[in-house]
Structure 1
């Protein structure tokens, strides 16, 4: 075949190289126009009509806002020199793997794919979302199987082989059937039927979707396999098990789970109910199977309930299950399908003869005020080094300068022709930099509100700007996939760092100014030597875009916020992942360190701000109040104020109050939460007794011994408690003894007074 013509544009299409895939229907080729071409072995009139219908009525792309192709839909027919249709053009799904490579542990290991259980939950959720969109527009997929689903490193799936879908003509109602089906994924009511002449409905797709989701969440195991057959004879083949409804958790099933079977109860109850509805209730009543939308809702709840294991950095488990199943399974079977790094246990690493005090940080965040002068999204906020003023960049194309104490707008800078998405103060506080979607960077004189100069050189939006600690260099990250360094005084371009394969969302200088970090939509973080421009290392581990990065004040830790809903902490020297923080229910768009390095703030698309204890990886508080994405965060110099910029067009100022408490070892000091609070009279008695008497050394020792003995007893019974009453009674004994002594003294005094009066009287 020497000449092919695009049916839409009449352009010549050249097939490149060798076919990249072959099937019973045709071959797949790359073309000189960037699209893939599917050339049929024997195109039929029915197939040509179906293609024309699909091209005329394409479904809406549900993930266009993510710049993602959810289904490889036919774009144009291809014709030969005689004008006959021989195939079609479709988009190529790049940088993606078959879903089988994602959920199968052996294939994951072979391909060195870093996938955790949360990634698989999100993938399942996104597949349900795409199928919901297709069902809403009246399409039936028909042949849903692993080979037809590709997944990228953002957990975004794409469905291929779409020309096999069942299509109904909106003009005359004619149905173009899905002519093929796959064993192991065919619902029981269709087994043995001729697909080329049977009308399917989305109810049949519901069964196939449930099997795919089960395989994603249960290590590639099938609901109709991975168990032990306890019936007569040999184990029936998969289709027979499906036809009879004999899956692992069917009532009175002859297929029973075994030691290696991943149990159903590890997933969230909402997801469990969906599986039971599909394979039990839906076996004889297909309409009872959960819809794709119901699967999406259940998986969303389940994904949000996942928490990171405290021992292995790649283990996620459901809060409802209560423990890490993957750790237990790894111990029992010596097989970990989500291998990761074991977190060191400080109590094992550090030995001490004395029990150290535990310092607990408590943060109370209160909303101080809200700035509302922007008319569009606030994309970026930054404090002046003296923290007296705050700057904000917005989608309304302006930059605003605010007096922090009074909440007063000081001035507005205009000059950008598109959204201002990043702002940064020079360390001297005199110069301000702004990056914009107009592809330029502008430097401003803060005092005079005057534009100093404009840097041009990026070919796409400038998403992030950052000054070096000495204020002499400015770094910029762009959607053109590059990072550029600029001389602040001259405006000259010093160098460009090229290495990311996708948009650069964030750049940050290390405190010593020698290293630059960059976060990208390619899911990687790169560390660069500022002087030489050499790439030092690439950090991988996130499953989606890295939207924000920040160095700790001591420069030893790098923190990243990602579209995979997590915040990760990295050791800068080794590049190793230290810990992952997971609590947000959507993308973590912004991260910021407090000046003392003890508190981390994160802002998210879930409209919340979360405050974290960095040392313990513990969530301290969630700040709510924004009604849009939290795009940017900034701490004041003293760490007592946090500024947040949001998609609700506002900036909020939060007052943070930090209190530190020191807890002594529990064997000596009772835990207040385990003690019934005494009433006011008891408190008064205790105070008076402490003033009146000072227990001697022997008394103090007996109290301590009593407390220790009592705690040992309580721990044996697993009911930790301290008998506060007995401790208070000890003080009352001293008070009673004192009262008796005083009473005796009073009697003696009265006696001598009476004697004296008697002597005088007589």
Structure 2
């Protein structure tokens, strides 16, 4: 397949907006128009005064009204964006116009500046990528050599590419098929073999850090689910863990290959040992299906996400809770760790693409419109704006796929670099080759598309 022409992507994110939004110039006029009758100098319902900057920062009887850099957790922003008419402010009136709400959001995200001469109240963070020490592995990069004979099931039409992964050391891509996994040469884009997965549909595929082991997780809905480890070179089944009563829909293998975490409709993250297949931990803070799991490259943390938008960080060894990352308001579809273990990226059906600083759980970079949909002529309903897949590259770059049928490449600091159209169908999975030169996306029509980063 011929590489597609890569075109620059022009998207302005909240973290990179050029305009400085201030209380004096932009926000106070909005408060004067909509809020000061109940929250001004003459009357302060809930002890909240929005008529001057100092009072806004002080907040009211319900605690702080605004939190610098966190619009989604600020009480004031929650009040003016509530979907329930009875809860939304101002009461018994039309909602504040969307452009004005966006100004308030940008003001909060930008650090609550009082005037153009004021400094942001959000402390500067170092989001730069710091390459981890290269790991030394014995022998050449693992590639399939003597796979057992296997004939994949014949289907009337290809299944959607639900799972896909790239080897961290070799030009090898693994792609989910019906009861099997296809292995593609990333250089030629040709299939070089397949591994049977009679357990059912592969929903998750991961390579070990040394590229020698392939993890495949999945099963049959409402029947069974498990995780299988294969040796990449020979295709030999190494072990199988888990005996679920429903298909596994999220899983990952720890960097040292000693643990497997899995999750699904049971709302519980289970961590098994690979040596004996026994259960090590049950992680129980989630309230909905577990949609994504990812061990940090250094093995110190395990990130888990659910269908309600919840994300938790756990100790990668003991299973103890470390942090709760509260920002998404809809299902989280993807988690990805940067190779330095400093940043965790999350993407969800709410359209948010977030780079989290995992030292304290702060959303260091937030893109609220990473995959903006194009509104068809004559269409007036709400358009889907979800982020469906994420994959980090070797230099901290991030590849995302969204419901706008675009695959996008982002720099380590969140800048948009390039955009590619998934012309055949909705892109569901993304991968970046070990050298960062090849970009892959699998779509809902079963096609795997390839691009190169070379201009």
Shorter-chain TM-score tier: 0.5 to 0.7
Pick the aligned partner of 2:408 from 607, 610, 617: 610
Q: Could you list the per-position Cα deviations for residues 221-243 of structure 1 after superposition, in whole angstroms to 9, with x for gaps in the alignment? A: 614xxxxxxxxxxxxxxxxxxxx
Q: Does 1:403 align with 2:185?
A: yes
Q: Distance in 2 between matches of 1:434 and 1:310?
A: 42
Alignment of 1:694-709 (within 5 A): none
SS of equivalent residue, structure 2 residue 446 = coil
2:168 corresponding residue in structure 1? 385
C-alpha spacing 1:385/1:551, structure 2 compared with 1 (3 Å): closer
Deviation at 1:389, TM superposition (A): 1.3
Q: Distance in 2 between matches of 1:314 and 1:117?
A: 15
Please give the secondary structure, in 2, of the residue aligned with 1:657: coil
Quickly say closer, same or farther: Cα 1:579–1:309, change in 2 above 3 A. Answer: farther
Give the match for residue 382 of structure 2: none
Q: Match for residue 437 of structure 2?
A: 640
Q: How does 1:332-731 map to 2 (within 5 A)?
A: 342-344=121-123, 375-394=158-177, 396-438=178-220, 439-581=225-367, 582-585=369-372, 586-597=385-396, 599-615=397-413, 617-657=414-454
The structural deviation recorded for 1:630 is: 2.2
Q: Secondary structure at the match of 1:648?
A: coil
Deviation at 1:460, TM superposition (A): 2.7
Question: Partners in 2 of 1:398 and 1:120 — Cα distance?
Answer: 49
Give the distance between the partners of 1:110 and 1:437, measured in 2 at CA: 47
Q: Deviations over 1:370-409 (max 9, x none)?
A: xxx9811101111123232110114x33211111222221
2:93 to 222, 225, 229: 222
- SS of residue in 2 equivalent to 1:379: coil
Deviation of residue 570 (structure 1)? 1.4
Q: TM-score, normalised by structure 2?
A: 0.66
Do the aligned partners of 1:479 and 1:503 also contact (CA within 8 Å) in 2? yes
Matches within 5 A, 1:101-250: 110=62, 114=73, 146=85, 219-220=90-91, 222-223=93-94
* 1:453, distance to aligned residue in structure 2 (A): 3.3
Give me the TM-score of the superposition, normalised by structure 1: 0.41
Secondary structure at the counterpart of residue 266 of structure 1 = helix
d(CA) in 1 for partners of 2:121 and 2:314?
28
Shift of 1:538: 0.8
Bigger proportion of residues as helix: 1
Contact 2:163 2:205 (C-alpha < 8 Å) held by counterparts: yes
The answer to which structure, 1 or 2, has the higher relative contact order (CA under 8 A, 6+ apart) is 2
CA contact 2:399–2:430 (8 Å) conserved in 1: yes
1:448 and 1:552, CA in 2 relative to 1: closer, same or farther beyond 3 A? closer
The structural deviation recorded for 1:580 is 0.5
**1:727-738 equivalent positions in 2, closer than 5 A:** none
- CA distance 1:576–1:265, shift in 2 (3 Å): closer
Contact 1:411 1:449 in 2 (8 A): no
| Structure 2 unaligned blocks of 5 or more | 1-37, 40-44, 47-59, 66-71, 127-154, 373-384
Which structure has the larger Rg over C-alpha atoms? 1
1:543 partner SS: coil
Contact conserved, 1:605 with 1:628, CA < 8 A, in 2? no
Go from structure 1 to structure 2 and tell me whether the alpha carbon gap of 1:345 and 1:507 turns closer, same or farther (over 3 Å shift). closer
- Do the aligned residues in 1 keep the contact of 2:80 with 2:90 (CA within 8 Å)? no
Deviations 1:460-495 (A, max 9, x none): 321222222222322223221122222234333332
C-alpha distance in structure 1 between counterparts of 2:339 and 2:121, whole Å: 26
Count of residue pairs the alignment pairs up: 344
Larger deviation, residues 461-470 vs 512-521: 461-470
**1:420–1:595 distance in 2 versus 1, CA, 3 Å:** same
Structure 1 residues 448 and 489, CA gap change in structure 2 (3 angstroms): same
Give the drift of 1:529. Answer: 0.9
